[in-house]
Chains A and B, each alone.
Chain A
Amino acid sequence: MATAANSPTESRYRLDQVDADADLMVLNFGPQHPSTHGVFRIKLILDGEIVIRAIPYAGYLHRGVEKLLEKLTYAQGVPIVDKNDYVSPMSNEQALVMAFEKLLKVEVPRRARYLRLIFSELQRIASHLLWLGTFALDMGGALGGGSTVFMYCFRDREGILDLFEAVTGGRFHYNTHTIGGNRHDIPLGWDKRVLAYLDMLEPRIAECESMTTNNSIFVARTQGIGLIDKDLAQGLGLSGPLLRASGVDHDLRRDAPYHAYDEVPVRVMVEQAGDCQARALVRVREMRESIRLVREALAGLPEGGINSGKIIKMPQQFKAQSGQVYAAIETPRGELGTFVIAGGGDKGTAPYRLKIRAPSLHALSALPWILPGHTISDVVVVLGSLDPIMGEVDR
C-alpha cells in the first residue's frame, strides 16, 4: 500500500526525477508569510519553481494548552480550549465538554443538545466562510479578486458572530458550554433572526461561488492540484472535508451521532477526486447542508431546561479518580477528539492527562506527501485547501 510502504522522506519526493546537476534552491516559506494561515513554516527545496521536497515545521504557536488543562479543574477548561481552533470555538468547547460528560456520566437535556447542534452548524458555516475567504485570498491576492471574495465572506461571517454575540455575549470566544448543558439559552426572537440571516446567506453563497468554485480560473488553479488518494487520506488520519473530498464516505455526525444528529439526519457530501477543487466543493456544499440542518433543528427545537442548574453553580463538584475516555465530534475541520485520563488535580478534580486530537495536525502532515511536483503558486493553494488552523495544530 502506498501509504505503508514508504515514508514521505523517500519516494514521494521524486528526488529521482530531479536532474542531477540542477541548482536547487531552498526557500523558507514562513513562519510569517501572508498565506501560511498563522505561524507555520515550510522549507521548500526548489528546482526552478518546482517543489521537489517540502519539510514542514510546526510549533510556532505551541502554547502548552494540554499542560494548562492538567492544572485546571474540569469546568475551568472550557474557556481555554476556545482558543485552540479559533475559527470554530463552539466546536472546541463541545469536544471538550462531551469528553467530560462521558467521563462523568452527565446527561445533557434535549434542548441543550439541539442548541449545541444549532451552534455547531452555524459555527461550521462561519468557519467555512472564513476558509473560503482566505482561500480566495491565497489565490487572488490581497490586491485582487481574492480580497473581494474575502470581504464578502467576512461580511457574511459577521452575521453569525452577531447571532452568537446575542446568545453568549462574546464575539468569538464564547464559553457557553458547560458540563451537562449550556450556560446561555437563546434570547427571545433569536430563531427568527437566524432564519432571516439564513435566507439572506443562501444567495450570497451563490455569489461567492460564482467568483470562486464556478470561476474558470479557480477551476484551472485547483483541479488536479494537491491530490490525496483514498488510501493516503485514510492512513494520514485525515478527517472531515479532507477525507470526504478523497472519496471516503465518513462523517461522525451521521456515523456516530452525538448531540441531536440522530434526530436531524445529516446528508454527507462526498467528492471522489481528492484534489483542491474537490475539497472546495465539499466545503461549499457543507455550508448549504448546514443551513438546512439549522433550519430543521430550529423547527424542532424542544422546550425545557438547557442544563441541570446545580452543575452550573458548582463547577468544582466534578471528581473522577480513574477512567480514560475519548470523545470526538465532527468540527468544520474534521474529527476533533479529546482524550482524558481522569485522576489529576486535588482528589481528581482535574484531568491527569488530556490530549486534544486535532484534525489540522493531520492535515498538515499531508504536506510532504502532496507538495512535491507542484509549483510555488500551488503551495499556497494546497495549504489553503487543507484549511489548517495553527492554534489547533500546535495547541
Chain B
Amino acid sequence: MDLIQHGFLRGIAYGLLIITVVMTATAWGMWLERKIAAQMQNRMGPMFVGFHGLLQPVADMLKLLQKEDILPAGADDWLFNLAPILTALFAIATAAVVPWSAQIVASDLDVGLLWVLALGGIMVVPVWMAGWASNNKFALIGGMRAVAQSVSYGVPLVLTSMVAVVFTGTMSLSGIVQFQMAHGWLIYWPPGPGIIAFLLFYMALLAESNRIPFDIPEAESELVAGISTEYTGMKFGMFYVAEYVHTMVGSAIAALIFLGGWDGPFHWLPGLHWMVAKTVILFVSVYWVRWTLLRFRSDQLMRLCWLYLVPMSLALLVFAAVWVTYFAA
C-alpha cells in the first residue's frame, strides 16, 4: 500500500494506464473517424475485419509495424529518426495531466494547463525536424508551413485559455473544473464572452492539430503528404497516432476548461462519464468539420489568425481581467 501511495510509483502506474487507455482510445478514434466520414459520404467505411471493421486500427498498426524502414538518400538520419518519436512522446505527455475525473489523473500539476500548452507549442520542433531532415522539398515546405502555423495559432490558443485562467484564478486543470462546478461552466458564465472564447479556442485547436480547414502543413493535394512524405512504416504511424492523440487531448482540454470537465447535471453518474462524453462529442465535431470544409490557403490562414483571432482573444482577455476585478467580487 505504501508503494502505491508513493508519488513516483503511483505516477508510473497511472502513466502506463493512461498511455494504454489513450492509445486504445485513439485507435478506435481513428476507426470512429473513418466510419463517420464514410457515413457522411454515402459509404460504409471499413467492414471486412471484425464487426463493422472494428479491428481496422489493429490491422493498420500491425501492417505498419511490418513495413520496411527506409532512410531516404541524403536524409539526416539522427533527426529523421528522432522526429516521429518526439512527436508521439510529446503528444502522449500532454495526456498525462488531463484529469478525467476528480480522482483519475496521472499527475495533477498546479500548472497543468501551462504544461499542455507548452508541450503543444514544442510539438513544432519535431515537426520541423521531420520536414528538414527528410531531404524532400515537399516535406520542407510542409515543415515551414507547420512552424508558421503553430507559432501563429499558439498565440490565440494561449490567450483564450488565459481567459479561463483569469476567470478561475488557477492554472491547475482540476482547479479550473472545481471552480466551474461552483460557479457554472465558463462557456455560459459570464454570458457572452465565454462562448466566444470557446469558439476561438476551438478554431485555434483545429489549427494546432492540423485539421481541415487548417491542414495546410499536410495538404495532400499540394504537398503529397507534407512532413510525413518520406516516412515509412511505424514512423509514419507515429505521426499518424500523434495527430489523433493531439486532437483527443485538445478536445479533452476544451471540455475541461470551457465545458465544465466532469461536471454534469446528474451527480449520481460518475464524473468520468461526463468527461468522456464531452471529449468524444468535441472529437467527433472536429471530424465533422474536417469532412465538410475545404482548406484555406496559407496566407489566408495567417490573415485569419493575426487579424481576427489574436485581436479578439486579446480583447477577451482584457474583458476577463476587467470583469474579475470589478464585477466578480
Touch A–B, Cβ below 8 Å = yes
Contact with B along A178-219 (1 / 0, CB 8 A): 000000000000000000000000000000000110010110
Most buried by B among A141, A220, A379, A380: A141
In the bound complex, CA of A33 to CA of B215 (Å): 18
B216 in contact (CB, < 8 A): yes
B212 in contact (CB, < 8 A): yes
B297 A143 Cβ-Cβ under 8 A: no
A142 in contact (CB, < 8 A): yes
Chain B minimum-CB-distance residue to A25: B137
In the bound complex, CA of A49 to CA of B298 (Å): 9
Assuming the contacts A141-B215, A145-B212, A375-B297, asked whether A380 and B291 have C-beta atoms less than 8 A apart, the reply is no
A160 in contact (CB, < 8 A): no
Majority DSSP secondary structure for residues of A touching B: helix
A34 B297 Cβ-Cβ under 8 A: no
Contact of B294 among A136, A142, A143, A151 (CB under 8 A): A136
Which residues of chain B are within 8 angstroms of A377 by Cβ–Cβ distance? 216, 219, 222, 295, 297-298
Closest CB of chain B to A130's CB: distance in Å? 16
In the bound complex, CA of A218 to CA of B297 (Å): 10
Chain A minimum-CB-distance residue to B304: A220
A63 in contact (CB, < 8 A): no
Contact with B along A149-176 (1 / 0, CB 8 A): 0011001000000000000000000000
B300 A220 Cβ-Cβ under 8 A: yes
Assuming the contacts A138-B221, A217-B296, A377-B298, asked whether A143 and B290 have C-beta atoms less than 8 A apart, the reply is yes
Which residues of chain A are within 8 angstroms of B212 by Cβ–Cβ distance? 140-141, 143-145
Closest CB of chain A to B44's CB: distance in Å? 12
Most buried by A among B212, B220, B223: B220
In the bound complex, CA of A380 to CA of B37 (Å): 24
Number of cross-chain contacts by CB at 8 Å:
105
B220 A141 Cβ-Cβ under 8 A: yes
Which residues of chain A are within 8 angstroms of B218 by Cβ–Cβ distance? 141, 143
Contact of B221 among A25, A35, A211, A218 (CB under 8 A): A35
Most buried by B among A33, A136, A144, A375: A144
A380 B41 Cβ-Cβ under 8 A: no
Which residues of chain A are within 8 angstroms of B221 by Cβ–Cβ distance? 34-35, 137-142, 146, 380
B42 in contact (CB, < 8 A): yes
In the bound complex, CA of A35 to CA of B225 (Å): 12
Closest CB of chain A to B47's CB: distance in Å? 16
B213 in contact (CB, < 8 A): yes
In the bound complex, CA of A157 to CA of B109 (Å): 56
Which residues of chain A are within 8 angstroms of B2 by Cβ–Cβ distance? none
A148 in contact (CB, < 8 A): yes
Which residues of chain A are within 8 angstroms of B141 by Cβ–Cβ distance? 27, 49, 376
Which residues of chain B are within 8 angstroms of A25 by Cβ–Cβ distance? 137
B20 in contact (CB, < 8 A): no
In the bound complex, CA of A301 to CA of B213 (Å): 47
Which residues of chain B are within 8 angstroms of A148 by Cβ–Cβ distance? 37, 40-41, 291-292
A140 B293 Cβ-Cβ under 8 A: yes
Contact with B along A238-274 (1 / 0, CB 8 A): 0000000000000000000000000000000000000
Closest CB of chain B to A381's CB: distance in Å? 8
Chain B minimum-CB-distance residue to A142: B220
In the bound complex, CA of A137 to CA of B221 (Å): 7
B224 A145 Cβ-Cβ under 8 A: no
In the bound complex, CA of A379 to CA of B40 (Å): 28
Contact of A215 among B43, B137, B294 (CB under 8 A): B294
B290 A152 Cβ-Cβ under 8 A: no
B68 in contact (CB, < 8 A): no
Closest CB of chain B to A107's CB: distance in Å? 45
In the bound complex, CA of A243 to CA of B213 (Å): 31
A152 B296 Cβ-Cβ under 8 A: no
Contact with B along A23-36 (1 / 0, CB 8 A): 00101000001110
B137 A144 Cβ-Cβ under 8 A: no
A152 B219 Cβ-Cβ under 8 A: no
Assuming the contacts A49-B141, A377-B222, asked whether A217 and B41 have C-beta atoms less than 8 A apart, the reply is no
Contact with A along B272-305 (1 / 0, CB 8 A): 0000000000000000001111111111100000
Which residues of chain A are within 8 angstroms of B293 by Cβ–Cβ distance? 140, 144-145, 215, 217
Closest CB of chain A to B294's CB: distance in Å? 4
Which residues of chain B are within 8 angstroms of A378 by Cβ–Cβ distance? 297
In the bound complex, CA of A147 to CA of B221 (Å): 11
In the bound complex, CA of A76 to CA of B295 (Å): 46
Name A354-395 residues within 8 Å CB distance of B. 375-380
B295 A35 Cβ-Cβ under 8 A: no
Chain B minimum-CB-distance residue to A136: B294
In the bound complex, CA of A27 to CA of B221 (Å): 15
Which residues of chain A are within 8 angstroms of B41 by Cβ–Cβ distance? 147-148, 151-152
A221 in contact (CB, < 8 A): yes
Assuming the contacts A25-B137, A143-B290, A155-B42, asked whether A217 and B222 have C-beta atoms less than 8 A apart, the reply is no
Assuming the contacts A138-B221, A141-B221, A146-B221, asked whether A217 and B216 have C-beta atoms less than 8 A apart, the reply is no
In addition to A25-B137, A144-B294, 6 A-B residue pairs with Cβ atoms within 8 Å of each other are A34-B221, A140-B295, A142-B221, A144-B295, A146-B221, A375-B298
Identify the B interface with A (CB < 8 A): 37, 40-43, 137-138, 141, 212-213, 215-216, 218-224, 290-300
Q: Can you name 11 A-B residue pairings with CB atoms under 8 Å?
A: A27-B137, A34-B221, A49-B298, A139-B294, A139-B295, A145-B212, A145-B293, A146-B295, A221-B297, A377-B219, A377-B297
Closest A-B pairs by Cβ, 5 of them: A144-B212, A151-B41, A140-B294, A35-B221, A377-B297
